[in-house]
Structure 1
């Protein structure tokens, strides 16, 4: 179910929007239009859909248009041309030409926003900051305080409820901003680079906390970031923008493995692929392993082999004629639980980071299965391909 639907959207800042739109249609660049009309093209011909419960990350360099697009979703930036619809219950409401009362209702009940600079009111306590939106809705004091305390407990700040914002660290203040947004119980949450001003360790922690909260609350989130590793970590889908246009939109793994043009390839070239790639994308298919009698050779130097039954199914593993433990692992288990020298069987959708740690702990290749059949292995060459950026050519 679509929560946000954007089609052929233009957002133009200036007094000559009609003329600037005509120049856009003629293929003029942002700079050419700025010089001719003085208008700034914030968003140009953008089309994108965001499903309910999805985290869509708008990604791009400074000035790419990502914040301009985000702020159009709650009406902070007016629509010049095109369609921008958000879900309000069973219907989709188009923000192009929306009246003030409907827009106010959307902001009060359907869409919340978390800002980069926290936007906390310094004279209000933490709990009153969290409850402020409910107060604007006319919710009674007892109820709004109860709901605010529930959300503060959710972000681990209930003991700080009576403090003022300046008594909290930057990371804690951002948690208050998250609690305030979640307290409104809005369907759609807009987040404009909310963690970029924080130290890397705090940023990483808040990313983890956001993902955990999302698992519990299943909100629709549009998240603006200039940090690709952050986008790959939290995004269900990523939209990469340049000069107001959406250049590529898709799953994180597709963005990394199959960039649609040189701009996107350059954009993702220096990211850590272990954060997004899955075993299936880089595995060596089982059919490519050398077969010897009733076994498949995993590591010729170590004389490690998989033993097959008459049907070709894996029934064991040996190294220099000694049996090795075959064990199954899934991501609900700690990686530390795998045993040294064990040959681990896991899902083909395992993250490359988890697979690499299993390889490090066991000293053995990792077996990947799909529909209860071994479909491939991850050996050192596969990990080197990922780390050296060779996955582009492998995907092609």
Structure 2
């Protein structure tokens, strides 16, 4: 059963230029990029429509300048859209007053950006508790909540440290803990790990996935790194020139790219990292009783370790732990040696 949508974005536009709203309306319902530019407008987001479901990680990705960060700022109304509709739990955010939006951001939205933006003269504890202080939460309760979040991100014992005494990865953990302190329903993360070196970045990706398994937030995550996207995402939207050119699961995008741009974008991605075992298994066929097992939702890359240990086939288990099929070594080889599209 599909989870309900926490956030719905319908036909959202963000155009820069004089009298952008009127000029967009004059161009008709689906103006081309060339028509917009010919009208003296700079299109940052073009007719974007997405739904973010409860508890999912929805990744928006694209090259620099594709519009992904602008779209996310429109979703939280840090930037005012030129046209469209944005529904948060059924409420149209574009009709909310600025005072109402401030309250929504303070109490229901969490935000983490590439630059940590920690307060340099405040301790880790004070930084994490800061949004609760803004809300007017009393000191004892906000510090207790801050300590919970510090423990959640693995920084117990560093509560009294100043930001300059922390590594880059630790500073980003403080930023994550601070954004979670208000218990947001919707969490925006704009390239939160891109300033970190590869080893720390991968460590924090793993930590992020652990946090999500506990918290089950509705998350909008921006990245330009496809490896990061397929590791984290339940679904991915790929943007180009302000427009969403494909939206789907990592597996759908890697196996069935909708455009030449997406095909080029995904060309170097190892299919085994994106394709789930359930896609290539033999359903209903039992494996040898001594065979190792793997979840149907695991990626082929995750399952492949068993083949390296000498197994010829693997039992595939459903959500209830019962066998639903088998995965053979030759099925994996066929996936890896087959064409780029399924």
The residue that corresponds to 1:61 in the other structure is 63
Answer with 199-208 or 365-374: which moved more: 365-374
Q: Which structure 2 residues correspond to residues 173-212 of structure 1 after superposition, within 5 A? A: 173-212=171-210
Q: Distance in 2 between matches of 1:109 and 1:144?
A: 14
- Aligned residue number for residue 390 of structure 1: 339
Check conservation: 1:13, 1:40, Cα contact below 8 A. yes
CA deviations 1:143-164 (Å, max 9, x no partner) are: 1111111100111112111111
Displacement, 1:378? 2.1
Higher strand share: 1
Tell me, yes or no, if the aligned pair for 1:56 and 1:238 is still in contact at 8 Å: yes
Q: After the TM superposition, which residues 115-194 of structure 1 pair with which residues of structure 2 at under 5 Å, given as runs?
A: 115-194=113-192
**Corresponding residue for 1:84?**
86
Residue number in structure 1 paired with 2:329:
379
CA distance in 2, matches of 1:350, 1:216: 18
Q: Are the structure 2 counterparts of residues 193 and 24 from structure 1 closer, same or farther at C-alpha, using a change threshold of 3 Å?
A: farther
My pick for the range that moved more, 43-52 or 366-375, is 366-375
Aligned to 1:9: 12
Q: Retained in 2: the 8 A contact 1:282–1:391? A: no
The 8 Å contact of residues 287 and 325 in structure 2, kept in 1 or not, is answered as no
The reply on whether 1:33 has 2:31 as its aligned counterpart is no
Structure-2 change in CA distance of 1:368 and 1:158 (3 Å)? closer
Name the CA distance, whole Å, in 2 between partners of 1:44 and 1:254: 23
Q: Which residue does the alignment assign to 1:359?
A: 307
2:111 aligned partner: 113
TM-score w.r.t. the length of structure 1 is 0.79
Cα distance, 1:43–1:24 mapped onto 2, change above 3 Å: farther
Cα deviation, 1:114-169, whole Å, max 9, x if unaligned, reads 01001111111111111110010001111111111110011111211111111111
Query: Structure 1 stretches of 5 or more lacking a match?
Result: 287-312, 317-325, 328-342
Q: Deviations over 1:36-78 (max 9, x none)?
A: 41x3211111111111111100011111111111111211110
Which residue number in structure 1 is paired with residue 247 of structure 2?
249
Per the alignment, residue 23 of structure 2 pairs with 19
- How big is the shift at 1:207? 0.8
Query: Structure 2: 5+ residue runs without aligned partners?
Result: none
CA contact (8 A) 2:66 2:242 kept: yes
* Count of equivalent residues: 336
Provide the C-alpha distance between the structure 2 equivalents of 1:369 and 1:151, rounded to a whole number of angstroms. Answer: 34
For 1:126 and 1:347, the matched residues in 2 are separated by: 39
Query: What are the residue-to-residue correspondences of 1:300-319 with 2, within 5 Å?
Result: none
CA–CA separation in structure 2 for the residues paired with 1:140 and 1:389:
61
State how far apart, in whole Å, the 2-side matches of 1:19 and 1:315 are: 63
Mapped to 1, the partners of 2:126 and 2:106 lie a distance apart of: 17
Larger relative contact order, structure 1 or 2 (CA cutoff 8 Å, min sep 6) = 2
CA distance in 2, matches of 1:236, 1:315: 28
Conserved? CA contact 1:192–1:223, under 8 Å: yes
**Cα distance, 1:11 vs structure 2:** 1.3
Structural RMSD (CA): 2.2
Matches of 1:102 and 1:128 in 2, distance apart? 26
Paired residues of 2:125 and 2:160 also in contact (CA < 8 A): yes
User: Equivalents in 2 of 1:373, 1:93: separation in Å?
Assistant: 43
Instruction: Say if 2:286 and 2:325, in contact at 8 Å, map to a contact too.
Output: no
